[in-house]
Amino acid sequence: MAWVDGCARAVYDGRCFFRGRIRKKLREREWMAIEAAVIEALRGVIDPELHKDIITLGMAKNIQVRDGEVSLLVTLTTPACPLRETIEKDVRAAVGKVPGVTSVDVKFDAQVPEAKRMQDKAPIPGVKNLVAVASGKGGVGKTTVAVNLAIALKNLGAAVGLMDADVYGPNVPVMLGTTEQPKALDQHTIIPVQAYGLKTISMGLLNPGDKPLIWRGPMLHSVMQQFLRNVRWGQLDYLIVDLPPGTGDVQLSLIQTVAVSGAVIVTTPSIVALADVRKAVEMFRQVNVEILGVVENMSYFVCPHCAGRIDVFGHGEGARMAQTFGVPFLGEIEIDPQIRIGGDTGKPVASFGEEAPGAKSNYAMARNVAARLSVVNLSAVAPVVQIL
pLDDT, tens digit, for every residue of 50-68? 889 999 999 999 998 888 8
Q: Is the dihedral of CA 352, 355, 360, 366 positive or negative?
A: positive
Residue 341 is predicted with a pLDDT of 94
Interval 82-138: pLDDT, tens: 889 999 999 999 999 989 888 999 999 999 988 877 666 778 899 999 999 998 778
Q: How confident is the model at residue 72 (pLDDT cuts 50, 70, 90)?
A: very high
Q: State the pLDDT at residue 15.
A: 52
In angstroms, what is the C-alpha Rg of the chain? 27
pTM for this prediction: 0.85
Q: What is the pLDDT of residue 388?
A: 43
Confidence of residue 220 (pLDDT cuts 50, 70, 90): low
- Do you know the residue count of the chain? 388
pLDDT of residue 332: 94
- 166 or 361: which carries more pLDDT confidence? 361
In this predicted model, which residue has the larger pLDDT, 253 or 152? 152
Q: What is the mean pLDDT of residues 11-18?
A: 49
Q: Where are the beta strands (DSSP E) in the chain?
A: 60-66, 69-76, 103-110, 130-134, 160-164, 183-186, 189-191, 193-195, 198-202, 238-242, 262-267, 291-296, 301-302, 309-310, 329-332
Q: What is the tens place of the pLDDT at every residue in 319-374? A: 988 898 899 999 999 999 999 999 999 999 999 999 998 999 999 999 999 999 99
Q: What pLDDT does residue 25 have? A: 54
**Band of residue 207 on the pLDDT scale cut at 50, 70, 90:** confident
Name the average pLDDT for the chain. 84
Strand partners, 312: 314
- Domains with residue ranges and CATH for the chain: 2-110 (3.30.300.130), 130-379 (3.40.50.300)
Structure confidence at residue 27 as a pLDDT band (50, 70, 90):
low
Lowest mean pLDDT among 255-264, 296-305, 355-364, 374-383: 374-383
Residue pLDDT, tens place only, 236-251: 999 999 998 876 677 7
User: Is 70 exceeded by the pLDDT of residue 190?
Assistant: yes
CA–CA gap between residue 274 and residue 289 (Å, rounded): 20
Is 340 or 31 the better-scoring residue by pLDDT? 340
CA pair distance 123, 259, nearest whole angstrom: 7
Given a cut of 80, whether residue 252 has pLDDT beyond it is no
Residue 157 has pLDDT above 80, yes or no: yes
